[in-house]
């Protein structure tokens, strides 16, 4: 297949749609973030790329804490709003009707309406250019009771959504499951003899 080169880009699909929360001058504020994900398993860590100019960043630097909230498809308008206006100019919590709660750390605001929230302690913040890469240690995870099946978080009840950048900038819901993970590849493996290198 012929390939067209696009140079260095940030077009990695899919991207999550998160709300990142911090208290800025004592008031909760949230921004939308798509450039993030899990960064380490033990201890559990997240990484989020935050532009130098974000208002939320001030709060994260001051308190050394932040939250990563996973919204559901029901909150798509609120997430987009939090991604197009700054807390410098708007009270986003009031405008979105967010019910804010706090956990272990006491100053990482989280949104009750979001089915999943991670409370994080800032560990490192390398400056990569336009963005800092916030690396946060997850100190607690909160999941709405009504999103559990047999006591475990159920993605079909959480109903998170994705952001796709590039030609069309859009939000997408999840499609149906296509295969069991860590199992589907066994079919190929079973046809092979392992190499010893």
Ligand X SMILES: Cc1cc2nc3c(=O)[nH]c(=O)nc-3n(C[C@H](O)[C@H](O)[C@H](O)COP(=O)(O)O)c2cc1C
Q: How far is the CB of 148 from ligand X (least distance, A)?
A: 27
By the rule CB under 6 A, 50 interacts with ligand X: yes
Binding residues for ligand X, total number by CB under 6 A: 21
Nearer to ligand X, 123 or 190 (CB): 123
What contacts 191, CB < 8 A, 6 or more positions away?
Answer: none
**Nearest distance in Å: CB 84, ligand X:** 6
- Residues numbered 139 to 178 that lie near ligand X (CB under 6 A) are 163
Site for ligand X, residues 75 to 134, rule: CB under 6 A: 80, 83-88
In the chain, DSSP assigns E strands to 15-16, 18-24, 27-33, 36-40, 45-51, 65-70, 100-101, 110-111, 116-124, 131-143, 148-149, 152-153, 161-164, 170-173
Minimum CB separation of residue 140 from ligand X in Å reads 22
We find the least distance from the C-beta atom of residue 24 to ligand X, in angstroms, to be 8
Q: Which of 31, 70, 135, 147 touches ligand X (CB under 6 A)?
A: 31
**138: Cβ–Cβ under 8 A, 6 or more apart, which residues?**
43, 44, 45, 46, 118, 119, 120
Nearest residue to ligand X by CB is 83
- CA dist., res. 81 & res. 105, Å (int): 27
Whether the bond between 14 and the residue before it is cis, its omega within 30 degrees of 0, is yes
- Give the residues lining the site for ligand X (CB under 6 A): 17, 29, 31-35, 49-51, 54-56, 80, 83-88, 163
């Amino acid at each position: 297949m012929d390939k067209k080169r696009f140079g260095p880009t940030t077009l990695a699909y899919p991207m999550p749609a998160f709300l990142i929360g911090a208290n800025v001058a004592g008031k909760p504020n949230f921004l939308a973030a798509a450039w993030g994900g899990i960064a380490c398993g033990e201890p559990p860590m997240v990484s989020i790329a935050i532009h130098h100019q974000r208002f939320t960043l001030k709060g994260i630097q001051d308190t050394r804490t932040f939250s990563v909230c996973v919204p559901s498809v029901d909150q798509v308008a609120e997430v987009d709003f939090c991604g197009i206006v700054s807390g410098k100019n708007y009270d986003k919590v009031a405008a979105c009707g967010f019910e804010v709660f706090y956990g272990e750390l006491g100053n990482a605001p989280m949104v009750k309406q979001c089915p999943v929230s991670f409370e994080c302690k800032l560990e490192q913040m390398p400056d990569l250019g336009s963005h800092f890469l916030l690396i946060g240690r997850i100190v607690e995870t909160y999941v709405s009771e009504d999103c559990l099946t047999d006591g475990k978080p159920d993605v079909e009840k959480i109903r998170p959504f994705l952001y796709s950048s590039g030609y069309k900038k859009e939000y997408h819901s999840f499609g149906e499951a296509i295969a069991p993970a860590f199992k589907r590849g066994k079919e190929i493996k079973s046809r092979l003899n392992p190499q010893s290198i």
